[in-house]
Structure 1
């Protein structure tokens, strides 16, 4: 029985990684959280583990507590981060879909859409939340955990957790309301990639919102703009300047939770992944991740 129970627990690793990534925003941090969760599981006596009816439930609650602790120190770490910090972009369906991971679909009207792919846009909204708000939202709205279970995980009352989830859900829905439909998003990204590849400044500027913001994350590992680049002309010239600096670079499009993203390669090496926000037919934001520590799943 002990071996079967442990095997069932180990099989939950994809579930826990998907949870940790949504909670923490990078694969490395998610892996650290999962490692700590399993350390606590195997730290229990075998007889105690065997008494746990649902390994998934125990592991999910424990991972939630681990992530809550990690989020408490994450902001201090990011204050020391070199340049701008962005969540790690991942390929579409890098992790199991949320609906496949949820234990329950209780209170369906009190849930965000479970089938959403993981997007940088969503992770950026989660970054604006308090640690407790983020953990409650992910556990309840994304993974379908009941409020009493969430309350036990975060040390709050069910009523307080319901309020936290409601507040978080409003922010997420506001972000969704600004997002372009997938077909429009991908059409604009294709035109953007074509204009950038052709070195056409005018065509590039025309595809950018006048107040567009480009954020570049190098993490001190590679060169990147230390501050956001603002304005259509500035962003277009910045991008064309990069292309001129690296004439051997090639670009391709790949699906992510945000829709098509632009992957830039220097020879065989992936240099950067740029996810794009689109609104009213133009690009309103570009998130360019160059930090190689955040590109591991693309290799």
Structure 2
């Protein structure tokens, strides 16, 4: 993997700072899809660069493709993190939900002057970063997740993936096939964003009006709402199952805190909701709909996972 890029073309030997930093966006995209966390992805990419600069100049010159080398190192770090994720989740308070990312146009509209680039400027928002997709990825083994993402999303050949995962190319192919099948079986049919936007708007209006019946009609009978607080905020927005339970829970929240502002925003490339209180984002909600009804709500309330959404709010 030291001589070929994932697209199969040769890279010129130019390990200059500009060339190396030009790989950063691709590495962030890769690590975010593997880990489901912008923060962890940034840490992984930083560590990959640290390892590059820890080498001697002669060692660096011996690497024909610095970008591919960085991707290989970042993928291995991600694989190690995924392997320890279950143990780390055991100490996590409450439900764990992948970290949501804002749409570029939404974030830059309120971006303060001089602020660092936001994740939407580094992460390509497509079907491989929707919350529903990231949640399904959580059910895969680390080797399945890495093999699938590297091959199906980033088009790495299985020979290169084998070097990262420590399996044979044939085994990596089987891992990717297994992951592909599980993802296909778990995912609902893709719904155009324009249609989901209508459903989300109707949902927002019903919630603002505290209309329980309207909310129930917009929710699938078996709908599931999952809240990630990280134990850092009140657990009022607990996980709920069933249209009636979710509808009554949302209306109760609205009655208890009437000054909440409910805004329609793009969340991980799909229409979702952002909840503000006193101008500060307190929750980001990713939604998934099927047959014109909402089937899943993932509510991020952990402030540590909202830092990219809240940039500049309290300056």
* 1:147 and 1:161 in contact (8 A); partners too: yes
- The 1:75–1:188 alpha-carbon spacing in structure 2 relative to 1, beyond 3 Å, is same
Unaligned runs of 5+ in 1: 99-114
Which of 186, 194, 209 is the aligned partner of 2:205?
Answer: 194
Quote the residue 2:94 is aligned against.
83
Offset of 1:184 from its aligned partner?
2.3
1:228 aligns with 2:252: no
Q: How many residues align?
A: 283
* 2:15 and 2:60 in contact (8 A); partners too: no
Quote the residue 1:210 is aligned against.
221
In 2, Cα distance between equivalents of 1:276 and 1:197: 17
Which of 232, 240, 244 is the aligned partner of 2:255?
Answer: 244
Offset of 1:27 from its aligned partner?
1.2
- The 1:205–1:191 alpha-carbon spacing in structure 2 relative to 1, beyond 3 Å, is same
Which of 124, 138, 153 is the aligned partner of 1:97?
Answer: 124
Quote the residue 1:173 is aligned against.
184
Quote the residue 1:135 is aligned against.
146
In 2, Cα distance between equivalents of 1:225 and 1:215: 12
Quote the residue 2:36 is aligned against.
25
Offset of 1:117 from its aligned partner?
5.0
- The 1:72–1:226 alpha-carbon spacing in structure 2 relative to 1, beyond 3 Å, is farther
Structure 1 runs of 4+ with >6 Å offset: none
Which of 155, 159, 162 is the aligned partner of 2:170?
Answer: 159
- Output one character per residue of 1:252-295: Cα deviation in whole Å (capped at 9) or x when no partner: 11113352110000112100001111111111111101001111
Quote the residue 1:68 is aligned against.
79
- The 1:277–1:258 alpha-carbon spacing in structure 2 relative to 1, beyond 3 Å, is farther
Secondary structure, counterpart of 2:98 in structure 1: coil
Which of 181, 195, 202 is the aligned partner of 1:184?
Answer: 195
1:281 aligns with 2:313: no
Counterparts in 2 of 1:34-45, with a 5 A limit?
A: 34-45=45-56
1:269 aligns with 2:280: yes
Q: TM-score, normalised by structure 2?
A: 0.85
Bigger share in helix: 1
Unaligned runs of 5+ in 2: 1-11, 105-119, 311-315
In 2, Cα distance between equivalents of 1:224 and 1:91: 24
In 2, Cα distance between equivalents of 1:130 and 1:90: 24
